Chain A
Amino acid sequence: MDLNFKNNVDFKNLLKNKQFLIIKQTTNDVLESENYKLLFANVKSLIKTNAFRGSKVILIKEELLDSTSALDSETINKLFSNSSFTTSDVVEINEKFEILDNVREPLPQKSHEARLLLRTLSQGGYLVFHIIETYVNAFINGHEFPESPFLSLADKKRHVEKKDVSELQTVFENYRQRLADQPVYCKFFISKSHLTSLHIDSSSPDDIKKYIPANSHILNNKCEDKFREDLRLFLKENLFINVIVKEYILESKKRLDIFLVDDYGENFYLIEVKWVGDSINPAGKKVSTKYNQNDINPDAIFQTLNYLEELDTKGENIVRAYLTVFDARKDNVGDTVENFDKSLLSHSQLKHYPKFEKIRDFRVINKHPS
């Protein structure tokens, strides 16, 4: 997250573009009032506690705002379970969150039509809370204070949905498919022009037309960083989860690759990233590092289990530790961990083994060197 605001031209331009919205937000007496904040927080909380999904509009007369200072949580909590609420699209409530009126009429499917309706309602003396999935868009006196860029479910669903951490396996599968795209995989491998110069440097007797496909599997130098960052970014974009600070260093000075944590900061997921194949040296003149199956099975498994042990000793609640392996070997010779001999584990490693999971290798092939 970029928190550098000093001399940040992009941020200043963003502020200039949003000047009207900022002024609206900081000069609206209703929005700034304590009672409004209490009201909004309660609506937000109800969505979470009732696992609300869908879209609904809650109306409350603005004149009732002064009476909302002593909200009773017991009455409030009944709102979302009231059958009139669950079956309606628009409900009007009073200051005690009791339903005064309800309308069953689907909200407009297009955001701009929904906006027009909600603004009009708010000009009629209502505070309008438009709930869309977990977001609440507020409308006050014809002004819009949105949390979601979408005002209709149809528009929102067209947008790519982030997945819950329970769907991590699906996200890994999606990532596997993405690795088959040339713009994605080509950044891991040395370029075609690099292969040409390597052909000269190595004085290979092979014809260049044979040399390039035979060596296109050679990875860039420091490819572990590229693999890790690519996977980290993909998870960040596709999961509703916090991806922890870039590198977390254990007390043993070991560096954890990817660390995920749920909303409440209670459940942690560790992802260890490894690779197998050949990578070029820093000067780009020859292959200098080779990792093969033995580096993964059993070494990387031991390493991941040792991390689990160290974190457990520290009191961290790691619910799952995944070992992911980018397989860029020249030949397709099967998964790096087809079988694992558990008898190799120490007593303490064995204790943490149930939390360990090896993800099927991410095979990366430089089909079309560029």
Chain B
Amino acid sequence: MDQDTTELYQVNDDLIFILDTGLKIGWDNIKPQSLNRIIYLAKVLFSFVNEDDSNIMDYYHFTAQNMTGPMSSIINNSIAYLESQELILTTESGVKLNTSLDSRINNILDTTSLPVKLHKQSWLKTVMLILGKFGENRVFSFTINDPLYIENIESNNPKEINFENSENKTLTILNSFKDAFEESLEDTSNISKQEYLELYFDYIFSQIIK
């Protein structure tokens, strides 16, 4: 199997997992643009929580060429593929899992003996549960206020967004956010990286609705 096909299959797995998790948080249909944005956030935030691991979502290549947020063409290719396989259905409100194909979907979701896939699903679920607190309609706001995206859109840079840790402005901001907690509060030993991420989203949300 060539690399492109392998990557497409990985994206297919991710989208099925995201749509399945969506069902569990009341997002029965998810807009294709939201899928791009969810995966972008999962990629840009990954290294903050999973410091020592290489980015598990490195097969997504995002550009910030238009104002609807970052896009990765492989996601749209995957949506078309999954639709052709009838695993997902297109509705007015977005795309949804074809739950009548339960056994095929469960096969795709299965992570038995696949630790990397399990790790990725666990990370995507973390991101989805954070976003679920605010609703799908807030995903866009979070994305366009992401520091790395803003940096790219402001520079009108048509190139692929660079997620290397040294270039990832979001990572720098998140670390300074965490540092500010450590410098201000008496004891932060109980606050995990994931909780910092949740606090960061709470803060951004409070700024958006202000």
Do A76 and B26 touch (CB < 8 A)? yes
**What size tier do the contact residues of chain B reach?**
35 or more
A261 touches B132 (CB 8 A): no
From known contacts A8-B180, A12-B183, A263-B140, infer whether A1 and B34 are also in contact, taking CB-CB under 8 Å: no
Total A residues in contact with B, Cβ cutoff 8 Å: 51
Known contacts A40-B133, A265-B140; is-contact A1 B66 (Cβ 8 Å): no
A264 touches B137 (CB 8 A): yes
Q: Is the interface of B mostly helix, strand, loop or mixed?
A: helix
Q: Which residue of the partner chain A has the closest CB to B65?
A: A314
**Cα A213 to Cα B147 with chains together (Å):** 48
Which residues from chain B contact A2 at a C-beta distance below 8 Å?
A: 207
Of all chain A residues, the one with the shortest Cβ separation from B187 is A23
Q: Are B132 and A44 in contact (CB under 8 A)?
A: yes
Does the CB pair A45–B135 fall under 8 Å? yes
A248 at the interface (CB under 8 A from B): yes
Instruction: Report the separation of the CA atoms of residues A13 and B181 in the bound assembly, to the nearest whole angstrom.
Output: 10
Query: Is B190's CB under 8 angstroms from A40's CB?
Result: no
The reply on B204 being an interface residue by CB < 8 A is yes
Contacts of B26 in A (CB 8 A): 41-42, 44-46, 49, 73, 76
A265–B129 alpha-carbon span in the complex (Å): 21
Contact assessment for B173 and A1 in the assembled complex, using a CB-CB cutoff below 8 Å? no
Given contacts A242-B140, A264-B140, contact A38 B67 (CB under 8 A): no
- Shortest Cβ-Cβ A-B pairs, 8 listed: A45-B26, A41-B132, A41-B25, A265-B140, A263-B137, A15-B184, A42-B26, A12-B184
Please list the residues of chain B having a beta carbon within 8 angstroms of any beta carbon in chain A: 23-28, 31, 33-34, 37, 65-69, 125, 129, 132-138, 140-141, 143-145, 147, 150, 153-154, 156, 173, 176-177, 179-181, 183-186, 190-192, 195, 199, 204, 207-208
Q: List 23 A-B contacts (CB under 8 A).
A: A5-B179, A12-B180, A37-B132, A41-B25, A41-B132, A41-B133, A42-B26, A49-B26, A73-B24, A73-B26, A73-B28, A242-B141, A244-B67, A245-B153, A251-B156, A263-B141, A265-B68, A265-B143, A265-B144, A266-B31, A266-B33, A268-B67, A314-B66
